[in-house]
Structure 1
């Protein structure tokens, strides 16, 4: 959901696309998004149905200019995996001082709450970028 929201917001503000991709620390590689996430995003006019999960690795970390994570633990883990990532890994909720919990295998209301936090974090980051 975060990739879709961020991509749409970035294009709206900058009038061009940038390379925005998501990857997970414990990704179910090749799997599509949860149907609840697809549904919520379609309601926002964002189609994420073609997305497939990919695993974060050192190459992706090294090639990225900015890495946004959902939780502080994820930031710490990435910096342990690849110490050169320090200074380019931040929480999506960094400016608001909040983590965004993973809604995976939870009820739709948890996905809705997560999406609200994602939208808040993206809005704050778009202003900073």
Structure 2
């Protein structure tokens, strides 16, 4: 891998209006806080084109804003072939969307597809469940899982960047 190329993460869910934009905003903010924005880029997408061009769900924006995250500039898009090629890591929110991404992904890039929840440290959930048909608690639960997974993910990325020979500041543990 080329040390000067940023490590690129794409988080994805079904429509790219609830879970993946939430994860996008949390990751983006935490990367920025650590001063890693030179070395790490974040994007989000959906496996379906249901909401392409739309802003994140107002409920997702509201609950994220309560925790200090801004989703207002994000717009839904669908996963593309270039995502599989150019991303270093593609993180799905649940089994169904993981399977859809794996089916669409060329075999040479499938090793890049994982679940965001794999990186959770404190929550024991294999997935980040879809809050769309739930209430406020569902959106808060998504944020809890995403914040937890982000810390584990940043540790992983820090090790990858160190392997690339980059002296990045360590991720602090919350």
Which stretches in structure 2 are left out of the alignment for 5+ residues? 1-21, 158-174
Q: TM-score under structure 1 normalisation?
A: 0.89
The reply to whether residue 72 of structure 1 matches residue 95 of structure 2 is yes
1:94: which partner in 2? 118
**1:11-66 Cα shifts (integer Å, max 9, x gaps):** 22344353211000024101111111111111222211121100012122211111
Unaligned runs of 5+ in 1: none
- 1:20-35 correspondence to structure 2 within 5 Å: 20-27=42-49, 28-35=51-58
Tell me the TM-score normalized by structure 2.
Answer: 0.68
Note the C-alpha offset of 1:102.
Answer: 1.3
Deviation at 1:106, TM superposition (A): 2.4
Question: Aligned with 2:41: secondary structure?
Answer: coil
- Let me know the Cα RMSD of the aligned residues: 1.7
* Range moving further from structure 2, 95-104 or 53-62: 95-104
Paired residue for 1:10?
31
Deviates more, 1:55-64 or 1:13-22: 13-22
Looking at CA atoms only, which structure, 1 or 2, has the larger radius of gyration? 2
The answer (yes or no) to whether the contact 1:78–1:85 under 8 Å persists in 2 is no
Conserved? CA contact 2:131–2:138, under 8 Å: yes
